[in-house]
Chain A
Amino acid sequence: MLYDKQPKMITSQLKILIADDEAPARNRLRELLGDIDNITLVGEAKNGKQALALAEETHADVLLLDIRMPQMDGIEAAMHLQKLNPPPAIIFTTAFDGYALQAFDMNAVDYLLKPIRLERLQTAINKARALLPAQLEAIRPLQPRRTHFSVSERGRVILVPLTDVIYLRAELKYTTVRTKEREYLIEDSLTSIEQEFGEQFLRLHRNCLVAQASILGYEKSAGADGESHWVALLKDISETVSVSRRQLHVLKGLAG
């Protein structure tokens, strides 16, 4: 009856996914969802990372995402979820988060305050839709430092933990992310990454950011032109990154 205006939804069941780190909170949502018609609960996640994996697997239509979760919070999960095709609708849930709620209100992002009321949940699910680019941009500052980069490859979203990244190199249009195992292409620019993560990455070359934690040391090596220059030795891989003359001060700063 509720779906009279959207006839195609009468037959299709809306697939819902819950993400919350607290068992009672998930329990409560499950109970409430049980009282709503024409929906199916397709999965429950304990953090943002699980939510992303489950959303991909179940092709969930709507995600109920708690904001404060360990490992990966709801805001970051929402960013990565956008890379799914089609991206699911997102409704944030939170007990209290004054700063976030202000941003949500200003950008018409859907959220529910815990404890959640049945009627509010129902209305929110009915009007839920995927986040617009502008909305995404607006909530990005709520999670100032991502814990993962996300890469979409052949319709899948691959998460690259920040701690796995050895270096980032700017290519023509993309940025290459190098981990121990392989390389990925992401769309973020080196400058924006530098701003986001600060001292975590060192700019050793105009086109290269190297993870501080991956640098074993520096060595002088002879280049092809016969002139010697400094290179950084890296953990886990045999490749080296050359330090540009312009960036030598970074090295000196470390030695001093």
Chain B
Amino acid sequence: MASIKQKPKNSMQEHSVEKSSNGSTSTRAIMRLPDFRNLGICLRTLVIVNLVTLFAAILQSHGFVDTLKQMAELSVFTQPVLLLSFLLLFAASPRLVKLPYYWGVAGVIAISIATTTVIYLFGSYVFPADEMPGLARNWLLSGITAAIVLYYFNLRHRALTPAIAEARLQALQARIRPHFLFNSINAVLSLIRSQPARAETALEDMADLFRVLMADNRDLVPLAKEIALCRQYLALEKLRLDERLNIVWEIDSMPPDALIPPLVLQPLLENAVYHGIEPMPEGGTIKVNIYTSRKEVHVVLSNPYTTQGGHQSGNKMALTNIRERLALHFDAEASLSSKSVSKNNAKVYEVHIIIPYHPHSGE
């Protein structure tokens, strides 16, 4: 009995081992160098390098005041190295990212050693001093620091990978209220007898909308695509709400190629319709304003609202969800804020999203 049972078990195990090794190679393939053009990454690097410097200063010093002195002395050297490295990494980033991971790592370490050399030689030329430590020791220190920084980002990436998979799940959760789905189906049904052609268009819009909603939403999409999706969604809402729903698009200066996580705008519009338009007997106007300013895309969405019959909790959930997904993709470079403003007796709710815009980034 035991032997019979063992065999399939073994083969199962082998199978699963094979699978997991496949999995690990694929995760290795995804493993990438951090994007050194991202502000968040730069800030983190800055903090780590200075922590290492502080650590070194503490090791060398004899007391608190001495630590500060040591720190200052080390900083004179480390800060220029850091800044020069940032500049070089910024320039080399697109090429480094295309290299296999470990070649990329070697490249980053090489850059840090090269900048160390340059700054060292420059320093010993400008401030000739006897007690300047040897170049080889500096190479070692900067190489180790670079390795620590890369190791940190590697760990962080691994920690966030499940989170990115989860971003997809969150996109699922963020999307479409059942309320909208069933009301739309109801609206289409009402058209079938009297206006079959309109019913056809509406069903086509619904099919397109749900195709996007059910797709794998892990990757960024061009802004133009998200806008197209929003238009289809709004066409369906217009079917139900008719003249109660007005949309003003101010998107002439919008960069259509800017990348954005999918389903960021659509749920916000859905909120605007649900909280802003539906409770108003006369309806209202939703305004979408998109513009670029200093390499950032600004999306400002506003809708009227009443305090009566508010469903604010649902709204907050959607906002948190979108904020989290923006953070997963852009770290500190993206932001979402919301506020209510009173404009001549009418209350207006406004959501403001900022995402980074890198034209021709090729990615």
Contacts and interface: CB of A to CB of B under 8 A. Distances in A.
Contacts of A70: 278-281
B178 to A, nearest CB: 4
A114 interface: yes
A95 B183 contact: yes
A205 to B, nearest CB: 27
B280 A95 contact: no
Interface in B173-195: 177-179, 181-183, 185-187, 189-191, 193-194
Nearest to B309: A73
B187 A147 contact: no
Given A24-B240, A70-B278, A115-B186, A96 B193 contact: no
A71 interface: yes
B281 A24 contact: no
B3 interface: no
A31 B190 contact: yes
A120 interface: no
The B contact surface, by secondary structure, is helix
B242 interface: yes
Nearest to B180: A95
Contacts of A46: 281
A25 B242 contact: no
A25 B278 contact: no
Chain A contact-residue range equals 20 to 34
Given A68-B278, A70-B280, A147-B308, A25 B194 contact: no
A95 B178 contact: yes
Contact of B186 (A24, A71, A97, A147): A24
B92 interface: no
Interface string A11-43: 000000000011111011001000000000000
A27 B281 contact: no
Contacts of B187: 22, 24-25, 28
Given A47-B281, A70-B278, A70-B281, A96 B179 contact: yes
A128 B158 CA distance: 60
Contacts of B241: 22
A213 interface: no
Chain B contact-residue range equals 20 to 34
Interface in B32-85: none
Interface in B294-308: 308
A2 interface: no
Contact of A25 (B177, B179, B186): B186
B280 A115 contact: no
A237 interface: no
Contacts of B308: 145, 147
A95 B189 contact: no
B183 A25 contact: yes
Given A22-B241, A25-B240, A115 B281 contact: no
Contacts of A138: none
B209 interface: no
A198 to B, nearest CB: 13
B239 interface: yes
A1 to B, nearest CB: 26
Interface string A48-83: 000000000000000000001011010000000000
A113 B178 CA distance: 12
Contacts of A47: 281
Contacts of A113: 182
A73 B242 CA distance: 20
Contacts of B177: 96
A28 B186 contact: yes
Nearest to A30: B190
Nearest to A113: B182
Contacts of A23: 240, 242
Given A31-B193, A70-B280, A73-B309, A96 B178 contact: yes
Contact of A115 (B179, B182, B193, B279): B182
Most chain B C-beta atoms within 10 Å of own C-beta, residue among A24, A47, A71, A115: A24
B176 to A, nearest CB: 11
Contacts of A71: 281
Nearest to B179: A96
A24 B179 contact: no
A202 B191 CA distance: 50
Interface in A112-142: 113-116
Nearest to A68: B278
Interface of B: 177-179, 181-183, 185-187, 189-191, 193-194, 239-242, 278-281, 308-309
14 contacts: A25-B183, A25-B190, A28-B187, A31-B193, A70-B279, A70-B280, A95-B182, A95-B183, A96-B177, A113-B182, A114-B186, A115-B185, A145-B308, A147-B308
